[in-house]
């Protein structure tokens, strides 16, 4: 790659050889450690880079449209860990699994490494930036009015520049996001006459009803939703909110519901209107203008519509009464799981329901104006123009329509009609593969930018390191093209994209009356942006509210099953499929890795004699897909589902050809306002072929072993322990103690054992690290799993080794089912399982070389360079949380430049060595070193593990159990606390807090 920076030296490449960095890259080498190494100093000492000490930069996550705030931890000028920015209103310090995996899009080995253009022979060739920009400027200005840009960028300075730039040339911009919530936007315009998306306050809602909206996975801002949901739905001071999910398939959000109703697909709107009708009929508290809807709603009385919805009339009435009596409540709709032809009407119905129950303004706040694209209709219109040949130059920026739209929509063919196509994609995806000029954009962590995800939030992005490859921010490309082309673009002059951004922010500073700009700029950058309170605007019913129709849509095609694709919470719309972390992180619902699947109800599978792993073919009018079957009790018997995001044809080595693309089954959206994902019926065919499913699930039933405990709300209110609650449920008789000897045994045994095992605590003056995990708050989203991978250099082992159960994730989320047979409602419990750091650890006495031993501060130490690899410790661990390096996974898992992400504080394990969760001992030692320099002891909160820091539900609390005032000590004293496998007397340091159940009666 040629050098364009004037310093003549690529600072980051040489920084890594400062003799310091790359500490994590060279693995634990076997024999000699005295290889000749070079120490290459700076030319000029940089102020913000001290070798060995991390530097944190505030930035913004670009993995989805929510725009969460980031704190990027860098060591020796390379980003190694992403964490949430505590000051940011959207995610308040938390980050989902996709956000954590942003590093793997930054360091992805499949990234386009420099500008390329199409050669005569059809191949692509590298060209220098200057020529690329000259060619781009010439073509764009020549196209003039026949220029079109498809941009997925969020609202911000770049989008404004792009709009101005394109307008200057007379072209048009279509802002397009695959999951763009078009039905909600249309519904808000129809019912309230307000365009835009409201913000939802899950924290204060006491009763939440979701009509197929998977708000914990891909709906609007999942981290913000999950923070609120965990705060209200998690058991706190004697109460918890209730959540009812109504959808044909139980998504991860459905699993976190207290009740899930497998309703008839498409019947959600009718149920919402029927609930509104019951509320209007029985209560008078509705707003004045809502009363006018009584006429329209009369047709949706529960008795009339109940039979076509899968619910009984009483159930609808019960739901309605509880919805209106719980002040405030919240109904949400518009998720991918229920995006069928009638989705706009469904969202309108839910708007009416919220309005009638008085939630609009309390839990549903308009005025937040969340960022949304122009919707599919605009893209369809552009497609028509492309097919008509009216477009001369098409620029595709941060979007992949060829993959994200069903093949039957013919977008690829439309692109073929455009003579000249430009793409700024980071990775050569399906759309970029068809383009003639590639101007690879710098990743969000390598460029200046800002985003306005919602009203009141202006979130800044700053380059935390030198660009990994020869890429430029697209803003820079536009400005240079403007300078090169001149003419109408002459007005868009700026020294550089950074200056342009600063100029715009000077305007913002002036508007806020900030004094001198430099200090304002530095303080805003450090805070990550400007955060003002989101304005709340009152809304009234618009006349359109009267014309809402609740009839269920007609599904095209014949076939006995309805096909309902599900959006994966890890792969989103398929942009996550090129990241090994997200592919190996088991899907939160099915626990399958690296493969796509077809969900089928066990009884339907029995009826069709389908075993798990048998490859099924689904055939619809528009196409067919093949994938292994996965028996899933959380789906209707007449519905089949498959995940979106798989079946890429060109998206790098990890994603290409992996799994089947669910969109192939869908018909062309035609002139619909949005892509109706749930729209086609399919025929099920067996292919007689079999493929073992790469899932990390052993048995999904806990066989009454008390791994995932739960208790009723009543029991929790009375302060019972899980054991007492079980005891009460199982007949409640007092346990009659027969003999005095039994009394002594119970009393004597426990005391004697406790004295014997106190040795784990040495003199008791050291900290004793411990953790509590609140199963009432854990939603099973697996953000902690990816955070652990990022912090501890855990290698991804690939599909073949996951098939043999050899995945290396130190923390796994166990998903146990309860009930679900013979009509009983299916209940799901999540248990994050990691090393329990037992005081009486069974893995320690069996290790022949003291590789596993107990540290004075209560950790179960695992010394990698002392481990010989007999693996007895893993056999003897009742929790099975010790993982073995069967191969040299560190060599396969970190190809250049993924190895730049390795954390230099954590040893990269070699082959033949056992590894396990260490309670992030490098963070503990780092904090102890820092505290020792300041001559003070550790305070509660100085140290937190990577998983506790990332958990959006704040379910994991880490700290020193010996400190009575610490958060972990207080929450460990919670009566709901229990230890897993208490009877083995291994005395784990992790206390789980039992989940609290609220059945229908609460």
Partner 1 sequence: MAHAYTPAQTHAEVTRDVVATLGTPSRGYVMMLAGAVGLFLVGLFTFVMLLKEGLGLAGYNPPVMWSTYITTFVFWVGIGHAGTLISAILFLFRSQWRTAVYRATEAMTVFAVMTAGLFPIIHIGRQWVFYWLLPYPNQRYLWPNFKSPLLWDVFAISTYLTVSTTFLVVGLVPDIAAVRDQVSGWRKKLYAACSLGWTGSDNQWRHYTRGYLYLAALATPLVLSVHSVVSWDFAMSIIPGWHGTIFAPYFVAGAIYSGIGMVFTLLIPLRKMLRVEHMIVDYHFDNLAKLTLFTGSILFYAYAMEYFVAWYSGNPFEQVTFWRRAFGPMWWAGWSMIICNAFVSQLLWFRKIRTNLTALFIISIFINIGMWFERYVIIVSSLSNDYEPWAWGQLNPTWADWGILAGSFGWFGMYFLLFARTFPIVAIQEIKETIPFPRKRGGH
Partner 2 sequence: MATMTPGVLGSFVHVDAATDAIRALKAQGHTDLTVYTPAPNHEIEEVLDHPVSPVRLFTLVGGLTGCAAGFAMTFWMSNDWPLLVGGKPIATVPPYVVLGFELMILLGALSTVAGVIIMSVVNARKRVPYSEKFSDDHIGVFVPCRAEQAAAVESLLKRAGSVEVTHAA
Partner 3 sequence: MRKLASVFGGTLLLALAVAFLARDAAATRQAAPAVNDSLLAPVLTVSDSAALKGPRQPIFFRHDIHAGQFKINCQYCHYSVSVSSEPGIPSMATCMNCHLVIGGTDSTAQREIAKVRDAYNTNTPVEWNRVYFLARHAHFPHMRHINAMGPNACATCHGDVTRTPQVFKVNNVNNMGFCINCHLERNVSRDCSVCHY
Residues at the interface with partner 2 (CB under 8 A): 756-757, 759-760, 762, 839-845, 847, 850, 852-854, 987
**The two structure tokens encoding residue 650:** 């060109």
Q: Shortest distance, CB of residue 211 to partner 2, whole angstroms? A: 53
Q: Shortest distance, CB of residue 808 to partner 2, whole angstroms? A: 24
Q: Which does 929 bind (CB under 5 to 8 A by kind): partner 3, partner 1, partner 2, none?
A: partner 3
Q: Which does 698 bind (CB under 5 to 8 A by kind): partner 3, partner 2, partner 1, none?
A: partner 1
Q: Which does 757 bind (CB under 5 to 8 A by kind): partner 3, partner 2, partner 1, none?
A: partner 2
**The two structure tokens encoding residue 853:** 């031993």
Q: Which does 905 bind (CB under 5 to 8 A by kind): partner 3, partner 2, partner 1, none?
A: partner 3
Burial of residue 48 (number of CB atoms within 10 Å: 0-12, 13-18, 19+): exposed
Q: Which does 805 bind (CB under 5 to 8 A by kind): partner 3, partner 1, partner 2, none?
A: partner 1
How far apart CA 766 and CA 768 sit, in angstroms, is 6
How far apart CA 204 and CA 363 sit, in angstroms, is 7
Q: Shortest distance, CB of residue 814 to partner 1, whole angstroms? A: 4
DSSP string, 834-879: -----TT-TTTTT-TTSSEEE-TTS-EEE-TTT-----HHHHH-TT
For partner 3, give the closer residue by CB, 602 or 926.
926
Residues 47-86 that bind partner 3 (CB under 8 A): 50-53
Q: Shortest distance, CB of residue 789 to partner 3, whole angstroms? A: 17
How far apart CA 109 and CA 427 sit, in angstroms, is 9
The β-bridge partners of 640 are 563
Q: Which does 864 bind (CB under 5 to 8 A by kind): partner 2, partner 3, partner 1, none?
A: partner 3
Torsion angle (degrees, nearest 10) of CA 557, 563, 567, 571: -90
Residues 860-879 that bind partner 3 (CB under 8 A): 861, 863-866
Q: Which does 37 bind (CB under 5 to 8 A by kind): partner 3, partner 2, partner 1, none?
A: partner 3
Q: Shortest distance, CB of residue 874 to partner 2, whole angstroms? A: 15
**Site map 8..47 versus partner 3, x via CB under 8 A:** xx----x---xxx--xx-xxxx---xxxxxxxxxxxxx--
**Site map 650..689 versus partner 3, x via CB under 8 A:** ----------------------------------------
User: Phi first, then psi: what are they for 874, rounded to 5°?
Assistant: -70, -35
How far apart CA 863 and CA 882 sit, in angstroms, is 13
For partner 2, give the closer residue by CB, 682 or 841.
841
For partner 1, give the closer residue by CB, 294 or 705.
705
- Grouping H, G, I as helix, E, B as strand and the rest as coil, residue 284 is coil
Closest CA to 460 of 529, 371, 370: 529
Decide if residue 977 touches partner 3 (CB under 8 A): no
For partner 2, give the closer residue by CB, 690 or 850.
850
Closest CA to 616 of 665, 577, 543: 665
Decide if residue 739 touches partner 3 (CB under 8 A): no
How far apart CA 107 and CA 101 sit, in angstroms, is 10
CB–CB of 561/265 below 8 Å? no
Closest CA to 331 of 378, 401, 271: 271
For partner 2, give the closer residue by CB, 413 or 756.
756
CB-based contacts of 731, cutoff 8 Å, min separation 6: none
CB-based contacts of 552, cutoff 8 Å, min separation 6: 264, 265, 266, 267, 269, 270, 308, 340, 342
CB-based contacts of 866, cutoff 8 Å, min separation 6: 849, 850, 851
Q: Which does 840 bind (CB under 5 to 8 A by kind): partner 3, partner 1, partner 2, none?
A: partner 2
CB-based contacts of 436, cutoff 8 Å, min separation 6: 117, 118, 420, 421, 422
Q: Which does 521 bind (CB under 5 to 8 A by kind): partner 1, partner 3, partner 2, none?
A: none
Q: Which does 702 bind (CB under 5 to 8 A by kind): partner 2, partner 3, partner 1, none?
A: partner 1
DSSP letter (8 states) at residue 552? P
For partner 3, give the closer residue by CB, 864 or 887.
864
How far apart CA 152 and CA 818 sit, in angstroms, is 42
Binding region for partner 1 (CB under 8 A): 30, 697-705, 707, 801, 804-806, 812, 814, 816, 831, 833, 842, 845-850, 853, 866-872, 874-876, 878-880, 883-888, 911-914, 981, 984, 986
For partner 3, give the closer residue by CB, 323 or 884.
884
For partner 2, give the closer residue by CB, 537 or 876.
876
What is the b/e burial string over 742-764, where b = at least 16 CB atoms within 10 angstroms of the residue's CB? eeeeeeeeeeeeeeeeeebbeee
CB-based contacts of 533, cutoff 8 Å, min separation 6: 456
Closest CA to 943 of 962, 963, 958, 961: 958
Decide if residue 931 touches partner 3 (CB under 8 A): no
For partner 2, give the closer residue by CB, 644 or 847.
847
For partner 3, give the closer residue by CB, 8 or 122.
8
For partner 3, give the closer residue by CB, 50 or 503.
50
For partner 2, give the closer residue by CB, 649 or 984.
984
DSSP letter (8 states) at residue 521? H
For partner 1, give the closer residue by CB, 259 or 814.
814
Residues 683-722 that bind partner 3 (CB under 8 A): none
Q: Which residues bind partner 3 (CB under 8 A)?
A: 7-9, 14, 18-20, 23-24, 26-29, 33-45, 50-53, 850, 853, 855-856, 859, 861, 863-866, 905-908, 918, 921-922, 925, 929, 932-933
């Amino acid at each position: 790659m040629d050098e364009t920076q004037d310093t003549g030296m690529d600072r980051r490449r040489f920084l890594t050889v400062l003799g310091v960095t790359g500490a994590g890259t060279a693995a634990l080498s076997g024999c000699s450690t005295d290889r000749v190494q070079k120490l290459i100093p700076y030319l000029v000492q940089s102020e913000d880079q001290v070798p060995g000490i991390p530097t944190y930069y505030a930035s913004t996550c670009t993995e989805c449209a929510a725009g969460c705030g980031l704190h990027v931890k860098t060591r020796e000028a390379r980003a190694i860990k992403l964490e949430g920015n505590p000051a940011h209103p959207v995610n308040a310090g938390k980050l989902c699994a996709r956000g954590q995996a942003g590093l793997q899009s930054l360091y992805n080995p499949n990234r386009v490494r420099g500008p390329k253009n199409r050669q005569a022979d059809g191949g692509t060739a590298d060209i220098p930036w200057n020529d690329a920009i000259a060619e781009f400027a010439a073509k764009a200005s020549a196209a003039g009015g026949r220029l079109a840009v498809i941009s997925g960028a969020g609202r911000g300075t770049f989008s404004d520049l792009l709009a101005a730039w394109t307008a200057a040339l007379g072209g048009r911009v279509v802002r397009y996001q695959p999951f763009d919530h078009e039905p909600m936007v249309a519904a808000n315009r129809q019912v309230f006459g307000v365009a835009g998306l409201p913000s939802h306050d899950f924290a204060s809602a006491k009763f939440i009803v979701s009509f197929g909206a998977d708000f914990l996975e891909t709906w609007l801002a999942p981290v913000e939703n999950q923070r609120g949901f965990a705060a209200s739905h998690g058991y706190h001071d004697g109460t918890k909110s209730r959540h009812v999910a109504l959808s044909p398939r139980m998504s991860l959000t459905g699993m976190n519901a207290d009740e899930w109703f497998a309703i008839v697909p498409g019947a959600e709107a009718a149920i919402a209107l029927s609930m509104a009708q019951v509320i209007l009929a029985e209560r008078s508290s509705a707003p004045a203008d809502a009363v006018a809807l009584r006429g329209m709603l009369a047709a949706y009385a529960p008795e009339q519509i109940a039979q076509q919805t899968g619910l009984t009339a009483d159930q609808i009435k019960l739901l309605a009464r509880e919805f209106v009596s719980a002040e405030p409540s919240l109904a949400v709709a518009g998720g991918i799981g229920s995006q069928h032809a009638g989705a706009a009407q469904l969202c309108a119905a839910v708007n009416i329901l919220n309005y009638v129950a008085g939630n609009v303004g309390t839990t549903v706040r308009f005025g937040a104006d969340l960022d949304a694209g122009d919707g599919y209709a605009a893209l369809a219109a552009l497609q028509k123009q492309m097919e008509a040949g009216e477009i001369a130059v098409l620029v595709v920026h941060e979007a992949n329509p060829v993959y994200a739209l069903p093949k039957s929509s013919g977008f690829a063919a439309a692109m073929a009609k455009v003579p000249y196509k430009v793409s700024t994609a980071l990775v050569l995806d399906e759309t970029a593969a068809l383009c003639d000029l590639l101007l690879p954009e710098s990743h969000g962590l390598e460029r200046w930018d800002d985003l306005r995800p919602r009203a009141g939030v202006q979130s800044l992005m700053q380059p935390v390191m030198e660009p990994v490859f020869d890429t430029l921010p697209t803003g820079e490309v536009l400005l240079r093209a403007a300078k090169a082309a001149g003419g109408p673009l002459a007005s868009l002059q700026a020294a550089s994209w950074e200056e342009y951004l600063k100029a715009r922010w000077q305007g913002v500073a002036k508007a806020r009356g900030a004094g001198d700009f430099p200090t304002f700029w530095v303080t805003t950058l450090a805070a990550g942006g400007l955060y003002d309170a989101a304005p709340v605007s009152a809304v009234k019913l618009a006349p359109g509210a009267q014309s809402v129709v609740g009839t269920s849509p007609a599904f095209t095609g014949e076939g006995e099953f309805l096909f309902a694709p599900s959006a994966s919470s890890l792969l989103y719309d398929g942009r996550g499929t090129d990241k090994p972390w997200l592919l190996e992180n088991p899907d939160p619902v099915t626990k399958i890795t690296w493969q796509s699947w077809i969900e089928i109800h066990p009884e339907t599978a029995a009826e069709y004699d389908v075993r798990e792993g048998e490859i099924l073919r689904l055939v619809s009018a528009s196409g067919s897909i093949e994938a292994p079957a996965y028996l899933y009790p959380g789906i209707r018997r007449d519905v089949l589902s498959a995940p979106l995001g798989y079946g890429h044809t060109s998206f790098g080595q990890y994603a290409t050809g992996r799994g089947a693309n669910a969109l192939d089954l869908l018909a062309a959206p035609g002139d619909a306002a949005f892509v109706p994902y749930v729209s086609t019926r399919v025929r099920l065919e067996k292919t007689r072929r079999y493929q073992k499913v790469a899932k990390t699930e052993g048995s999904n039933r806990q066989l009454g072993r008390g791994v995932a405990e739960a208790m009723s709300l009543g029991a929790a209110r009375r302060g019972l322990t899980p054991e007492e609650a079980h005891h009460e449920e199982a007949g409640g008789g007092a346990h009659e103690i027969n003999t005095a000897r039994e009394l002594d045994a119970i009393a004597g045994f426990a005391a004697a054992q406790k004295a014997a095992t106190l040795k784990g605590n040495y003199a008791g003056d050291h900290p004793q690290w411990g953790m509590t995990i609140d199963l009432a708050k854990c939603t099973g989203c697996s953000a902690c799993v990816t955070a652990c991978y990022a912090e501890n250099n855990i290698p991804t082992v690939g599909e073949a080794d996951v098939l043999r159960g050899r995945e290396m994730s130190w923390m796994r989320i166990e998903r146990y089912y309860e009930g679900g047979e013979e009509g009983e409602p299916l209940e799901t419990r999540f248990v994050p399982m990691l090393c329990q750091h037992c005081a009486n650890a069974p893995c320690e006495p069996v290790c022949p070389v003291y590789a596993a031993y107990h540290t004075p501060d209560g950790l179960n130490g695992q010394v990698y360079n002392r481990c010989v690899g007999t693996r007895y410790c893993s056999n003897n661990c009742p929790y099975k949380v010790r993982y073995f390096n069967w191969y040299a996974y560190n060599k396969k898992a970190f190809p250049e430049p993924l190895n730049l992400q390795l954390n230099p504080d954590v040893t990269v394990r070699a082959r033949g060595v056992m590894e396990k969760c260490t309670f992030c001992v490098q963070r503990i030692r780092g904090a102890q070193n820092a505290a020792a320099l300041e001559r003070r002891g550790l305070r509660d909160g100085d140290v937190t593990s990577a998983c506790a820091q990332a958990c959006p539900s704040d379910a994991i609390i880490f700290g020193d159990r010996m400190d009575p005032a610490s958060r972990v000590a207080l929450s460990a004293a919670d009566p709901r606390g229990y230890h897993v496998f208490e009877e083995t007397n291994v005395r784990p340091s992790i206390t789980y807090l039992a989940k609290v159940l609220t059945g229908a009666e609460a």
